[in-house]
Chains A and B, each alone.
Chain A
Amino acid sequence: MSTTTAPEREAAAPPPAGLRPDWRALTTHPTAGPLAALVVACLFFTLQNDQFLSGGNLSLVVQQVMVVGTLALGQTLIILTAGIDLSCGAVMAFGTIVMAKLAADGTLPPYAAIAAGIGVCALFGLANGALVTYIKLPPFIVTLGMLNIAFALTHIYSAEQTITDLPGPLTALGQTFPLGRTDITYGSVLTIVLFLVLAYALSQTAWGKHTYALGNSPDVARLTGIRTTRLRLGIYTLAGLIYGIAALLLVSRTGVGDPKAGQTDNLDAITAVVIGGTSLFGGRGVVIGTLVGALLVGVFRNGLQLMGVGSIYQTLITGGLVILAVTVDQFSRRKASR
């Protein structure tokens, strides 16, 4: 590492502080590893099965990844603040039931039902955030409790019934449009747009800088004048809102409100975030990494399926990927804080 000798050299003859971007940072960029893994995985599965690269199959991968990817986007925000959200899948499931039931019953017009479902998810996020910021409870415990509450409410409110015959607006995002030889769902486009918006907000705005600073150290953030309470509360609420959008995507993809859907999606979302290179210790990571992480998990599952590998082995491999990703994070952190 050249950084070990750099201070001596600079002390002797301080050069003017450079304005050029540090290109070597690219190789240490947190998304570099997962992106390389994604490319290698795609190459590998293409060689194994010529179906893999077909437009239809790739479209399927994206559709499968869409819901978990969107959940993982909200999860990334919370993990960036050194928190964790175990409730994301259950909150999303409750959101799907709220919007599906209100719309199917005709209690609310379809668009109002969608707004109500998303709003309920945002309220769950707000509640998580309030408990973490004001009562200073650990996010793990708060969201574990909220996971159970949302899970129970989902089953109570739906009376264990799958809700069918949903009006058009609820499934509109599941419709496709052709792009070349591939059919793309509107929902996939929405997911990509959400990722781009948040990637922009995190990298180009003061809010993004403050979010990273909060994740690095809440005390440093507070002493530099950042209103940390409001910031954290906003991040949890925004994450909830994003889970609400994931709920709409789930409804549009399946066409029904299923109280059993999304049960393990919280862990899949955390998996995508971690594989995407975001540190569980907070303050490090990018949302595009999460998108790559979600795609990587999706590609593995799809590719292994095409190869005829059983789903339980897919889970086994995903587990290995998570541990590998966290190990890489640990090593890079140790190197950084050396």
Chain B
Amino acid sequence: MTPTPVLKARGLVKRYGHVTALDGADFDLMPGEVLAVIGDNGAGKSSLIKALTGALQPDEGTIELDGQPVRFRGPLDARRLGIETVYQDLAVAASLDIASNMFLGREVRRPGVLGSVFRMLDKKRMREESAANMADLKIGLRSLTQAVETLSGGQRQGVAVARAVAWARHVVVMDEPTAALGVKESGQVLDMIKRVRDRGLPVVLISHNMPHVFELADRIHVQRLGRRVAQIRPQDHTMAEVVAIMTGALTVDETGDTVIADSQAAKAAGVQAH
């Protein structure tokens, strides 16, 4: 028997006027896996992710979390249910320090009168918990009272990832976490994602970077023309084949074999059915 997907969607539809961004999209995230979501521009990748994290409300379709139907009216609903998202460019507040960013919107107040009447933050506790979280992910930083704008791009992304991981009870969604980073910093973020997976937390990774996808993903969800066209395992296919599936040159049948859908395109891409 297959385990219940952590996050599951069936038949998601989202239309913007004449444009159909999601056209009956399905989605399955299994426990403890890194699932890469790939697709060409306009394939409905970001609409799918937004629907799953509450940033948009689909016109049709259902979403289930741990087998229970859920309905997100906004990103906060998804967050309350333990789905945390690391947004590409909108991750951290630049002038605030690391601990403040980790607890932004979820601050901890001092116990007693100081907290209840004077609304005083428990900075010490927030710093300690942040330090523990950062250490768990092996993110080395001199001081948690540094403003995040003084950090490198990779370290900033590290803060965003650590925050998501610290609060996520079910799923961490990362939207292009390495898009803005150099090679070495990307490597640090990839290591971080592996550590997240090793803790048993499933990760949805949206990425354009095929080598990163192949390095990290347990499974790949290929989105095309507003729906899921394939779910594959990276070890079964070459990168060229995956790209061909993404562009529609190849399709995948029920048994997981690839079928040539567009022989000219497949020839041009240098891939064959198997």
Q: Is A207 an interface residue (CB 8 A)?
A: yes
Distance from B176 Cβ to chain A, minimum over Cβ atoms (Å) = 15
Known contacts A3-B150, A205-B121; decide if A217 and B131 are in contact (CB<8 Å): no
Question: Could you say which residues of chain A place their CB within 8 Å of the CB of B76?
Answer: 225
User: Quick one: CB contact mask for B66-92 with A, threshold 8 Å, 1 for yes?
Assistant: 000000000110010000010100111
Question: Could you say which residues of chain B place their CB within 8 Å of the CB of A201?
Answer: 119
Max count, chain B CB within 10 A of own CB: residue among A19, A201, A223, A224:
A224
Cα-based distance from A15 to B131 in the complex (angstroms) = 11
Q: Is B180 an interface residue (CB 8 A)?
A: no
Known contacts A19-B127, A209-B104, A337-B149; decide if A216 and B93 are in contact (CB<8 Å): yes
Q: Is A14 an interface residue (CB 8 A)?
A: yes
Of the candidates A18, A205, A220, the one whose C-beta lies within 8 Å of that of B92 is A220
Distance from A180 Cβ to chain B, minimum over Cβ atoms (Å) = 31
Q: Is B259 an interface residue (CB 8 A)?
A: no
User: Which interface class (under 10, 10 to 19, 20 to 34, 35 or more) fits A?
Assistant: 35 or more
User: Quick one: CB contact mask for B93-112 with A, threshold 8 Å, 1 for yes?
Assistant: 11110101000111101000
- B-binding segment of A20-28, A102-110, A157-165, A300-308: A20-28
Known contacts A224-B104, A284-B95; decide if A219 and B143 are in contact (CB<8 Å): no
Max count, chain B CB within 10 A of own CB: residue among A13, A201, A225:
A225
The answer to whether A11 touches B184, judged by C-beta atoms less than 8 angstroms apart, is yes
- A-binding segment of B2-10, B12-20, B133-141, B195-203: B133-141
Q: Is B231 an interface residue (CB 8 A)?
A: no
Question: Could you say which residues of chain A place their CB within 8 Å of the CB of B123?
Answer: 204
Known contacts A22-B146, A336-B150; decide if A283 and B100 are in contact (CB<8 Å): no
Q: Is A328 an interface residue (CB 8 A)?
A: no
Which chain B residues (169-205) contact chain A, with CB distance < 8 Å? 184, 188
User: Quick one: CB contact mask for A25-47 with B, threshold 8 Å, 1 for yes?
Assistant: 10000000000000000000000
The answer to whether B120 touches A205, judged by C-beta atoms less than 8 angstroms apart, is yes
Known contacts A22-B145, A223-B75; decide if A283 and B120 are in contact (CB<8 Å): no
Question: Could you say which residues of chain B place their CB within 8 Å of the CB of A215?
Answer: 95
The answer to whether A14 touches B96, judged by C-beta atoms less than 8 angstroms apart, is no
Cα-based distance from A22 to B105 in the complex (angstroms) = 24
* Cβ contacts A to B, 11 pairs, < 8 Å: A14-B138, A15-B142, A18-B144, A22-B145, A201-B119, A204-B118, A204-B121, A205-B119, A205-B121, A210-B104, A337-B94
Q: Which A residues have a C-beta under 8 Å from some C-beta of B?
A: 3, 6-7, 10-11, 13-22, 25, 200-201, 204-207, 209-210, 212-213, 215-217, 219-221, 223-226, 283-284, 336-337
